[in-house]
A and B are shown apart, each in its own frame.
Chain A
Amino acid sequence: MSLWVDQFRPRTLDDLHYHQGLSARLKSLAASGDFPHMLFYGPSGAGKKTRITCTLRQLFGGGVEKLKIDQRIFLSPSKRKLEVNIVQSNFHIEITPSEAGNYDRVVIQELLKEIAQTQQVDLNAKQRFKVVIINEADSLSRDAQAALRRTMEKYMSNMRIILCANSTSRLIAPIKSRCLLMRVAAPSPGEMELVLKHVAKRATFTLPPEAAAKIIDDTGGNLRKAILVLEALKMQSPDLSGPLTIAKPDWETYCHKVADLIVGEQSPARVMEVRGKFYELLSHCIPPTIILKTVAERVVERVDESLKADIMHWAAFYEVRMRVGSKKIYHLEAWVVKVMSLYKHFFFDIDMSSFD
């Protein structure tokens, strides 16, 4: 039995519950039998992937749902083996090049040329081009993005590329120049309620409004998370009545603890303690940016208004350094020291911080 997020995922453009304008645009593009390269972007769980698959279905029919998963081996220039999973139907192929880490360029170069040079074999195919979906396009290296450029122009007659990303900032201008941009905003609370109610109906129960409100409030526009939470809550208390507690993920609780440690005491010993916790989080593969953001958000909840802006400023400052630099922990730690120093100054040296 599959999860509700998959089971009740809309399959055609007409089934989509929100952003009707966007669906209409996709529909008319698909109806014209052709579309340009596209870049779908928007926050996590907003429904990018769902929209892409619905568009493909509109374009090619039900055949796109017959998927097979292969593993392909690529060789890096230094002859290291890179394994990449490939999901494909007769009409499209889906890859996540970031699986190949620094060698994503090799995957892009080889795979795309190979696809570009094979013609559509299915004679019944409505379209003569194949679609390549590239997931997590914003984590493509610059080299991999460069490798896409001319490929996107040269093989336009038998290949279309759909990039799926959370943000567009990390994509180089020549790539954006070659795509039609499709923004998928997170659903509004009202739209989320609509979807949740619909899911409840399909799962044959009615959703109490309070429960819906609580879930929507807690998941901040991430529809996938909301549906997952709904399913989990339903397991816990089948009638969804009474006070509901939505369990926070462990790492989040842990990050909050780190924040409390920082606010609680400012000393070299405390820095060491916090560092140990950071290592723990990093070793559980929590992305460093998420760690920094979660801790910072919690810290600003607990300090004086006049300190908040500075704390967030330094979080932004060290987050970018973390990306450019090589050792994440240095920058996390530098931020902690900075925050502790700001905090201490605030208490012992009130005159230095300017009030208005």
Chain B
Amino acid sequence: MDIVIRMVGAAGQGVQTVGEILARTAFRSGHMLHAEQSYHSRIRGGENAFALRISDGPLWGTREDTDLLVALDQAMLDQFLPTVREGGWVVCDEERTLPDGDAVVRIPAGRLAKEELELPIAANMILLGAAAEVIGISEERLAEVVREALGKKADLNLRALALGAEHARRGPWTVPDAVDVRGQRMLLTGGAAVGAGAIAAGCRYVSSYPMTPGTAVLTYLAERAERWGLVVEQAEDEIAAINMALGAAYAGARSLVTTSGGGFALMVEGLSLAGMIETPVVVHIGQRPAPATGLPTRTGQEELLFCVHAGHGEFPRYVVAPRDAEEAFYLTAKAFDVAEKYQIPALILTDQYLVDSFVTSPPLDPTRTPARSHLLTADELQTMEHYDRFAVTPSGVSPRAVPGVSDKLVLVDSDEHDAYGRITEDLQVRKVMTEKRLRKEEGLRTELGEPLSYPEGSMEGRTVFLGWGSTYGAIREAVEMLNAEGGRYAMLHFSELWPLRTDELRQAFDKAERVVCIEGNATGQLAQLVAQETGLQVGTHIRRYDGRPLTARDIIEEVSP
């Protein structure tokens, strides 16, 4: 089984609500799923689509074709009808105009919602009930999820579902109620994974200014702030956000800012301040197509080089781009730890596709992210004769104290400074301090995990797909499909991007028959970074930059003769 149920409508019609309910039902029924959300940048009208792909095997990403189209309005029906594949079905209101056929299930949803339920908006739940009948998903699970999600409003909605089911008929699929998989899998979005990773890492302070898709992390954390003991403050602008975060971090609170490319652009001076005052801060950047305001609600991978180079002056940083929600949790936690340990800024690059998609993932392991302190304790400070915040050490890392925990004063300065933190124009000190700061990168390199190679084993004679971040799923699926047809393909995927590990790259270039770089941008940013770090040139590129996520099909179509 591998079906895509695409629920589409205008903003305000509840596409996301019905989509989430169906996704959760599929999850409870024991299936793997990937649910991609796409929407226009507006509150009412426009396009809103929830593409729920369900399978009983592993799923890596989204598909652009549709098995079952559930259309809540005419415009979206017209727009998405061409994506319905041969043998696909449509569920819509009886009033919609489209060519009739065996595979069109017309439901008097609008009329029933008004007459039977006296609640016109409930037409969406009636259509959901119909769709559930068509795919043969467990009514019981569906009811369970609706009760949990809607509480008091559940009864009316259950009636709506039943009305829809009554007027529908079974289609060619069955999504069985499989074994109970509770505890074996989790259902989450990439945005929630970043937020949970932050809390797990001991994040205490979040200052941010709303910007899609970074906002998803802001709201996840704000809603949980009281429960987990965080301050989540909406800043007056992104410049404030990062400077507030650095103030809090200086005082000892692990800090996060979340934004998108445009907001990050405003933070760049603050990023450099973090480098200079050696104060940890984690910045989550949910990418969307740019330049400038770009396409606010779409996806892309355009900020890799920006993140690697952002900030005036020279200082170490850690840049990661998790491949999926599961890794987003672990890498976010790691970013906090690395930032604390090396007293540097860490940047987490996701994108709208990763942030908003619901996916089933292996259960996240709460023991894999132990939060460790990298601060001097009050006792340690008490025994010190004198404290220098920027003591010059072989590793470049100076033991870090925060103000107020002992009688030792802590001074940090955005000007060049001496070991104590005092402003200086002594050029010999300047040289020593520059080298001290940059030396931290040596340790940082030892923290880097290997890029992911798939399938395991030699890349000898294979076409190797090189990728980064959330395009992992599409590339993985393409490799699986191509190899199933007898192809010789492999992938080398990076989710820790700066500093960049080069050994595996050199090996891949050495062994591979050819290297194809696959990215969600128009200029090949990873390929440029690889060339910068190794001198190796990628010969072939597959790029998508129309604001939609890359899919396996994009790749297969490019490489198939």
A binds B: no
